[in-house]
Every structure is written in structure tokens, then in C-alpha cells.
Amino acid sequence: MSSKSKSASKYVNDLFDDARELTSDTINPFSYWVLRGKIAAGEYPGKQFSKKPSTFIASVVHSVIALFRSRFAARNSPDWKIGQLMDSGIDTFIDLTESGERPPYNMHLHTQRRKRSRRSEYYRFPIPDKNVTSLEQMKEI
């Protein structure tokens, strides 16, 4: 192997190592640990359908990026995302969307918890899109 090939190979391996390090706090391409093993955050785990064109397009683009990052192992489906979260120890789900903003995922949560014989909790604290919540609501959450 030529020295150029070796250095290119090392460069690629280093990039993958860096990527693994950067994503070590992820559960899947759609969520990540805020406090490892206790609190996770991420995109809405339900269906990404939205009547708002900009939100729909952003969801499609994000799904494609996630597929490539996961080397086509990730699926942007509610059952897969919720299952991944539950398998990582998450059993409490806090939904920050407003009613009607996205399709509900309660049915998927119920299916996944039954499949795993686990309990789960679901809470909704709606925050209007592109807004900041009040201090009182932050304390409540």
C-alpha cells in the first residue's frame, strides 16, 4: 500500500472515530442523551406528517440525513423510534407539541410498552411552535 493510500485510509478511519465520539451520546439518529441513562431529548417520536409544507419538507430532509448517518439502519417510524427509546431505558415521554400539531403517538407507545411488558408514562406540556415557555411552565415540566 502506498504512503498516500495509508494516509487516506488513516484519515477516513480517524473521521469515523471522530463521528463515533460525537454520536456516543445518541440513542438513535433522532434522539440523544441529555443526562446519560436518565433524560433523553429528540424529535417528535410520532409520525412526521404535517400540513405545514416547511415542516413536512424539513422532516423528509432530516429522515434522509438520518438514514445516511445510520448507514440505512434507522427507520423514521414511530414504532422503531419509541422502541429504541424504551430499549435504552426511557419510560416517561413528555410531549411538547400542541394538540393537532402532529398525529398522536400514544397508540405506538402503548404497542411498544406491551411488546416489552413495561410500564410507561405520557405527559403533554404544549409549547407553541417557535415560542419560549414561561418560567412557571418550565418548573411544571
CATH code of the domain in which 112 resides: 3.90.190
How far apart are alpha carbons 80 and 68 in whole angstroms? 17
pLDDT at 2: 56
pLDDT at 22: 45
pLDDT at 68: 83
Domain holding 26, by residue range, is 3-140
SS3 (DSSP) at 90: coil
SS3 (DSSP) at 136: helix
Low-confidence ranges of the chain (pLDDT < 50): 19, 21-23
Report residue 124: phi and psi, to 5°.
-120, 125
Count up the domains in the chain and report the number: 1
